[in-house]
């Protein structure tokens, strides 16, 4: 008799990086069980990006994706943080999510709804249909531990005090101590609507049926031990990492930069990229360009047009601007033998796995951090927004696979420091030591990945075998 198919619905939040992680997670689920069918219900702001549509075309037949009608948030005040955009997009998509779930429930075996952390409002629909409600946290276990701890921390710290003003580091359960200024962006202003929305999300976490986190105990033993400690009263936590992308879309930019890398020496090139949406100010672009030139090291730089908002590119596809015109005068000619410039996008999976790459200036998004570990690439930690400062603390102070530039009193990382740090990573003993630690992490990750025990447990929970 043919085994019944169990249906799972996944609701990501808008934005490419979270969608990407959930797609890789869903691929692993169906690899472990041929009795699953997965449906993505994707909230969107404006039209879906080309990168999102492109990757969805590669999905196996057991995974189906639907973009929900675009949500327009023109009524939000100018300057509303991106976190509020993400959460409101999901909240205003609830009628469409509810209708889609009701339609899916007309046939048997709708078992669970898995929601991204910023899409947790959709779990109300799971409760209405009496199916499992699960959260997917695409970031580190340290970030998840903070989210579950925040309701308590909010009660401990006097309401008139900002976390960034605390004199002592905050001790998140199981984690390295962290200064308040390095906590997630949404909690930096406790008087804001963004903080209230985020605090509400964290409280919701305590009432779900389970939480999936893209990490593994070999790199985050302390946080994961705290998360699964039954005395904390948390829901069941499933550390199922490392979930990373294994391929990326080909393009002219991609093939050209890979050809250039083929002509470079092993471990000799610094890769510079700030993720799918990170942007630098014009002043910082200038300092970075001069610093790379000053280092005399080979580099491959994914260049974006400048913007004072560090997350401007996260929900905005690149415009018609040539990003190279914002580089310092003469820089391209002076460094034509030293570096390779790519506008806006490059095939990061192939780049980080290339033997010419010896270091990575990274925004410390969790996807990029895991990809670095799996490819033994030392990190120069350059966080911009969201939880990236927390990841930078974990990478530099916790598992010690990164160097974090200090920057000056206004947060600008100057060319002299950039040149010095780049040289330390590419040529120095410090870089070799970081690479050795990365190798240890990679070997542990492969063992965890091959065993797949946590994700197999999750499949059994959902399928109820």
In a shared domain, residues 178 and 269:
no
What pLDDT, on a 0 to 100 scale, did the predictor assign at position 209? Answer: 95
Closest CA to 88 of 60, 118, 124: 118
In a shared domain, residues 238 and 288:
no
CA distance 129 to 113: 10
The residue annotated as part of the active site, out of 18, 37, 85, 354, is 18
- Number of helices (H) and strands (E), helices first, in the chain? 17, 13
In a shared domain, residues 228 and 257:
no
Residue 45 half-sphere exposure, CB side, CA atoms within 13 Å?
22
What is the mean pLDDT of the segment spanning 411-435?
95
Across the chain, what does the average pLDDT equal?
Answer: 90
Residue 240 in any domain: the answer is yes
CA distance 41 to 96: 9
Residue 164 has pLDDT above 50, yes or no: yes
What pLDDT, on a 0 to 100 scale, did the predictor assign at position 279? Answer: 92
Distances (CA, A) of 138 to 366, 391, 396: 7, 12, 20
- The proportion of the chain whose per-residue pLDDT surpasses 90, expressed as a percent, equals 68
Question: DSSP alpha helices (H): ranges in 183-249?
Answer: 193-205, 221-227
Residue with tokens 């908002």: 309
Which strands make up the sheet holding 210-213, listed edge to edge? Answer: 63-67, 36-42, 6-11, 110-116, 132-137, 210-213, 236-239
Q: Which of 178-182, 347-351, 391-395, 447-451 is the least confident region? A: 447-451
What pLDDT, on a 0 to 100 scale, did the predictor assign at position 249? Answer: 55
In a shared domain, residues 374 and 284:
yes
What pLDDT, on a 0 to 100 scale, did the predictor assign at position 314? Answer: 53
What is the mean pLDDT of the segment spanning 417-421?
97
Long-range contacts, 448-453 (Cβ 8 Å, 24+): 448/216, 448/217, 448/218, 448/241, 448/242, 449/216, 449/242, 452/28, 452/32
The residue annotated as part of the active site, out of 37, 116, 182, 363, is 116
The total of structural domains in the chain comes to 2
In a shared domain, residues 100 and 221:
yes
Q: Are 343 and 335 in contact (CB under 8 A)?
A: no
In a shared domain, residues 81 and 227:
yes
Secondary structure (3-state) at 134: strand
In a shared domain, residues 420 and 454:
no
Residue 392 has pLDDT above 70, yes or no: yes
CA distance 434 to 429: 9
Residue 21 has pLDDT above 60, yes or no: yes
CA distance 353 to 215: 20
Q: What is the CA radius of gyration of the chain?
A: 22
CA distance 300 to 367: 19
In a shared domain, residues 31 and 129:
yes
CA distance 278 to 364: 10
Tens digits of residue pLDDT in 283-326: 999 999 999 999 999 999 999 999 887 655 555 555 557 999 99
Residue 435 has pLDDT above 70, yes or no: yes
pTM equals: 0.92
Q: Are 112 and 9 in contact (CB under 8 A)?
A: yes
Residue 18 appears among annotated catalytic residues = yes
What is the mean pLDDT of the segment spanning 212-217?
92
Tens digits of residue pLDDT in 122-153: 999 999 999 999 999 999 999 999 999 999 99
Residue 375 in any domain: the answer is yes
Residue 137 in any domain: the answer is yes
Residue 185 in any domain: the answer is yes
Residue 320 in any domain: the answer is yes
Take residue 319 and report the two structure tokens written for it: 């415009």
> How many other C-beta atoms lie within 10 A of the C-beta of residue 443?
12
Residue 113 has pLDDT above 70, yes or no: yes
In a shared domain, residues 271 and 209:
no
What pLDDT, on a 0 to 100 scale, did the predictor assign at position 366? Answer: 95
What pLDDT, on a 0 to 100 scale, did the predictor assign at position 312? Answer: 56
Residue 283 appears among annotated catalytic residues = no
Higher pLDDT, 440 or 18: 440
Secondary structure (3-state) at 41: strand
Residue 1 in any domain: the answer is no
What is the mean pLDDT of the segment spanning 415-433?
95
CATH number of the CATH domain containing 44: 3.40.50.2000
Q: Are 119 and 12 in contact (CB under 8 A)?
A: yes
Residue 455 in any domain: the answer is yes
Take residue 146 and report the two structure tokens written for it: 């903070």
In a shared domain, residues 107 and 182:
yes
Higher pLDDT, 448 or 401: 401
Domain range for 282: 252-444
In a shared domain, residues 15 and 154:
yes
What is the mean pLDDT of the segment spanning 218-226?
93
What pLDDT, on a 0 to 100 scale, did the predictor assign at position 165? Answer: 95
In a shared domain, residues 235 and 266:
no
Phi, psi of 291 (to 5 degrees): -65, -40
What is the mean pLDDT of the segment spanning 178-182?
96
What is the mean pLDDT of the segment spanning 359-386?
95
Residue 227 in any domain: the answer is yes
User: With bands split at pLDDT 50, 70 and 90, how would you rate the model's confidence at 1?
Assistant: very low
Q: Is the peptide bond before 242 cis (omega within 30 degrees of 0)?
A: yes
What is the mean pLDDT of the segment spanning 183-194?
92
Tens digits of residue pLDDT in 30-77: 988 889 999 999 998 877 777 777 888 889 999 999 999 988 877 777
């Amino acid at each position: 008799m043919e085994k019944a198919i169990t249906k799972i619905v996944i609701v990501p939040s808008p934005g490419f990086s979270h969608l990407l992680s959930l797609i890789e997670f869903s691929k692993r689920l169906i690899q472990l069980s041929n009795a699953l069918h997965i449906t993505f219900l994707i909230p969107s702001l404006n039209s879906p990006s080309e990168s999102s549509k492109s990757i969805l075309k590669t999905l196996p037949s057991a995974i189906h994706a639907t973009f929900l009608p675009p949500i327009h948030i023109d009524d939000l005040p100018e300057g509303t943080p991106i976190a509020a955009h993400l959460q409101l997009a999901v909240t205003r998509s609830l009628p469409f999510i509810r209708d889609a779930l009701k339609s899916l429930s007309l046939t048997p075996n709708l078992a669970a709804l898995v929601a991204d952390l910023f899409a947790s409002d959709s779990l109300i629909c799971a409760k209405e249909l009496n199916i499992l409600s699960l959260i997917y946290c695409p970031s580190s276990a340290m970030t998840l531990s903070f989210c579950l701890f925040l309701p308590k921390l909010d009660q401990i710290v006097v309401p008139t005090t900002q976390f960034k003003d605390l004199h002592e580091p905050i001790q998140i359960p199981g984690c390295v101590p962290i200064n308040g200024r390095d906590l997630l962006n949404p909690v930096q202003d406790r008087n804001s609507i963004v903080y209230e929305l985020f605090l509400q999300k964290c409280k919701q976490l305590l009432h779900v049926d389970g939480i999936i986190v893209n990490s593994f105990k070999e790199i985050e033993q302390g946080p994961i031990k705290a998360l699964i400690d039954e005395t904390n009263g948390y829901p069941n936590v499933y550390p199922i990492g490392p979930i990373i992308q294994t391929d990326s879309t080909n393009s002219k930019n991609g093939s050209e930069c890979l050809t250039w890398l083929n002509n470079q020496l092993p471990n000799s090139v610094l890769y510079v990229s700030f993720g799918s949406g990170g942007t630098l100010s014009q002043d910082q672009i200038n300092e970075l360009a001069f610093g790379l030139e000053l280092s005399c090291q080979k580099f491959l730089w994914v260049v974006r047009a400048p913007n004072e908002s560090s997350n401007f590119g996260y929900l905005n596809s690149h415009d018609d601007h040539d990003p190279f015109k914002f580089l310092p005068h003469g820089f391209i000619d002076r460094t034509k033998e030293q570096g390779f410039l790519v506008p806006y996008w490059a095939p990061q999976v192939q780049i980080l796995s290339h033997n010419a790459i010896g270091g990575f200036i990274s925004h410390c998004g969790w996807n990029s951090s895991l990809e670095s570990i799996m490819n033994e690439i030392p990190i120069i930690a350059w966080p911009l927004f969201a939880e990236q400062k927390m990841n930078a603390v974990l990478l530099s102070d916790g598992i010690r696979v990164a160097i974090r530039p200090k920057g000056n009193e206004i947060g600008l990382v100057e060319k002299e420091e950039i040149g010095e740090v780049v040289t330390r990573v590419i040529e120095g003993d410090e870089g070799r030591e970081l690479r050795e630690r990365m190798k240890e992490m990679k070997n542990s990750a492969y063992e965890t990945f091959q065993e797949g025990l946590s994700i197999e447990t999750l499949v059994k929970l959902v399928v109820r075998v």
